[in-house]
Amino acid sequence: ILSADEIVAEEIIGKVAVVIDVLRATSTMITSLANGYKQILPVVSIEEAKELSASLKEKHFIAGERNGVKIKGFDFGNSPCDYIKSSVRKKLILTTTNGTKCFTRLQKAQEVIILSLLNMKAVIDWLQKKDEIVFCCAGRGGQFALDDFITAGKAIAQLSANNQIKLSDTAKVACDFYSYNKKSILKTLKNSASGQNLVKLGKESDIEFIASGEFSIVPFYKDHKIEVK
């Protein structure tokens, strides 16, 4: 498990990178792709998002947040609930405070996939045959975030249930932390710093949605785009 600031491009070569920003960037990506969006273009800055939007000829939406709040003038914020039952087959340009930053450091990975609690089962099935896996937790300001850690822990617990796998020390702690709290995931998410920020912003329903929904998709990041193969 690595936090965003610990990702060193060279150390990811040949490995499968699993990006987690459960509250809420990867949850928004999964929900939008599962509900008709055809592609997500993750970008780091607001300026980059605006420039890309101005240069993109195809119809698209532009979305994002800073500190949880929708960016002024953008079509949407970063609420997964905004993307449920959409029938659009559009591209989505997305910039978020922490989540979209991870991708620039993962260009050298063998494969990069997107995980949240929403697509846990599909991702675990897909990871079964993979050798070296690195969970990249977006965190907050590059630092540790409990919500991403428990999500990684759930994935690790499920992967180790049927396979003999060698775990790093952080992976062991994440797995134990998940096992200890598995009956109170929603509470753990709400109590995390990211969760508390969302509660303060009146977005508690996003946390409930993320803790209970399920989409059977595995989105891949390649060549600056995220899509389901």
Lay out the site mask for ligand MLT across 131-170 (x = CB under 6 A, - = otherwise): -------x--------------------------------
Q: Kindly list the distances between the CA atom of residue 51 and the CA atoms of 65, 111, 215, 222, 226, in Å, as whole numbers in the listed order.
A: 17, 27, 31, 20, 19
The secondary structure of residue 32, as a DSSP letter, is H
Helix (H) or strand (E) holding 40: strand 39-42
How far is 83 from 71, CA to CA, in rounded Å?
A: 16
Are 206 and 80 within 8 A, CB to CB?
A: yes
Nearest one of 138, 142, 139 to 193, comparing CA atoms: 139
Query: How far is residue 56 CA from its own chain's centroid?
Result: 24
> Is residue 31 close enough to count as binding ligand MLT by CB under 6 A?
no
The secondary structure of residue 126, as a DSSP letter, is H
Query: How big is the site for ligand MLT, counted in residues (CB under 6 A)?
Result: 14
Nearer to ligand MLT by C-beta: 78 or 151? Answer: 78
Please select the residue that binds ligand MLT; options are 4, 19, 20, 24, rule is CB under 6 A: 24
Provide the sign of the torsion angle of the four alpha carbons 195, 31, 137, 129, taken in this order.
positive
Nearest-CB residue for ligand MLT: 96
> Is residue 95 close enough to count as binding ligand MLT by CB under 6 A?
no
> Is residue 68 close enough to count as binding ligand MLT by CB under 6 A?
yes
> Is residue 43 close enough to count as binding ligand MLT by CB under 6 A?
no
> Is residue 3 close enough to count as binding ligand MLT by CB under 6 A?
no
Nearer to ligand MLT by C-beta: 24 or 154? Answer: 24
| Residues engaged in binding ligand MLT (CB under 6 A) | 21, 23-25, 65, 68, 78, 96-99, 138, 194, 198
